[in-house]
Amino acid sequence: MSVTLRRLQSRASPANEALDEPLSAGEREAMICAASEKLEELLDILRIDHRNDPNTRGTPVRVAKMFVNELMRGRAVAPPSLTDFENRLVYQGMIVTGPIEVRSTCAHHLMPIRGEAFIGVLPSATGKVLGLSKYDRVVDHFASRLQTQEELVQQIGEFLWQNTNPRGLAVRISAAHMCRMQRGVRAGNGRMVTSAYFGALSEEPALKDEFLRECVTLDGSSR
Ligand SMILES: [Zn+2]
């Protein structure tokens, strides 16, 4: 076993937590290679003739690349840097952004989670005001892992709370889970809503109401 691969294997951590440090290009390649071999083995066990079947030839390496470079990418790269704008006019009102596309993967079944996030921020005079696209990047960073929707909303909220120092913060995710639609109860198009509130937004019901009203308006105007 190569040194690189041994190092990769010695650093196992929960599915939605970042690795100790970002993976280098070489480490990512080694991970794809090793995962691809195991996926070949899996297809063999399932008696799928991926060596001769044109539909599944190349599937092990394709899936390994997809896992490492896309579905779980967020664990192995540094979080987005949060370039901020100085809150010069000391804007005190609530900023609500959304819908932000959420594409994640369920940690229990490895099936897609697809939905929308809304983020509400009450800036403080000393905190950061982010460019809007930064919120999309933060959502994508934490969604690009094997997740549960409950922990995803909390991770996004805690990261923004700690790094932008607002007076209040709210994150709300509404999503459909393919593991519920394609298997088990085979539910139609049921969705799940999770939310996380911090600071003034967790303490003042009127602010929470304002945030939820804005979510409805933004959701309606996007359709
Ligand atoms: Zn699931």
What confidence score (pLDDT) does residue 83 get? 75
The model's confidence at residue 126, banded by pLDDT at 50, 70 and 90, is: confident
What confidence score (pLDDT) does residue 82 get? 85
The model's confidence at residue 9, banded by pLDDT at 50, 70 and 90, is: low
Whole-prediction pTM: 0.91
Dist. CA 53 → ligand 1 center (Å) = 29
pLDDT tops 60 at residue 3: no
Dist. CA 109 → ligand 1 center (Å) = 5
Dist. CA 180 → ligand 1 center (Å) = 7
Dist. CA 106 → ligand 1 center (Å) = 5
With CA atoms as reference, report the closest residue to 116 among 219, 198, 220: 219
Dist. CA 131 → ligand 1 center (Å) = 33
The model's confidence at residue 117, banded by pLDDT at 50, 70 and 90, is: very high
Q: DSSP secondary structure string, 103-171?
A: EEEETTT--EEEEEEEEEEE--SSS-EE-HHHHHHHHHHHHSSEE-HHHHHHHHHHHHHHHH--SEEEE
Dist. CA 213 → ligand 1 center (Å) = 29
pLDDT in tens, 45-60: 999 999 999 999 999 9
* 182 three-class SS: coil
pLDDT tops 60 at residue 10: no
* 18 three-class SS: coil
pLDDT in tens, 80-114: 998 776 666 667 799 999 999 999 999 999 999 99
In this structure, what token pair is assigned to residue 83? Answer: 């370039």
Dist. CA 145 → ligand 1 center (Å) = 13
Dist. CA 112 → ligand 1 center (Å) = 8
Burial 84-110 (b: 16+ CB within 10 A, else e): eeebeeeeeebbbbbbbebebbbbebe
Residue 75's identity, in one-letter code, is R
pLDDT in tens, 188-216: 778 999 999 999 999 999 999 999 999 99
For the segment 20-30, the average pLDDT, to the nearest whole number, is: 93
Angstrom distances, CA of residue 112 to CA of 104, 109, 115, 146, 160 = 6, 9, 10, 9, 24
What confidence score (pLDDT) does residue 58 get? 97
Boundaries of every domain in the chain: 3-75, 84-221
Dist. CA 189 → ligand 1 center (Å) = 14
What confidence score (pLDDT) does residue 2 get? 59
Dist. CA 14 → ligand 1 center (Å) = 16
Q: Are strands 112-122 and 146-147 parallel, antiparallel or unpaired?
A: unpaired
In this structure, what token pair is assigned to residue 2? Answer: 């190569």
Dist. CA 168 → ligand 1 center (Å) = 31
pLDDT in tens, 105-116: 999 999 999 999
> In this structure, which topology does domain 84-221 adopt according to CATH?
GTP Cyclohydrolase I, domain 2 (3.30.1130)
What confidence score (pLDDT) does residue 89 get? 62
In this structure, what token pair is assigned to residue 99? Answer: 């819908």
Q: For 3-75, CATH number?
A: 1.10.286.10
160 contacts 118 by C-beta, under 8 angstroms: no
Neighbours of ion ligand 1 (CB under 5 A): 106, 108-109, 179
The model's confidence at residue 4, banded by pLDDT at 50, 70 and 90, is: low
Angstrom distances, CA of residue 194 to CA of 1, 25, 152, 199 = 42, 35, 9, 17
Dist. CA 108 → ligand 1 center (Å) = 5
What confidence score (pLDDT) does residue 220 get? 85
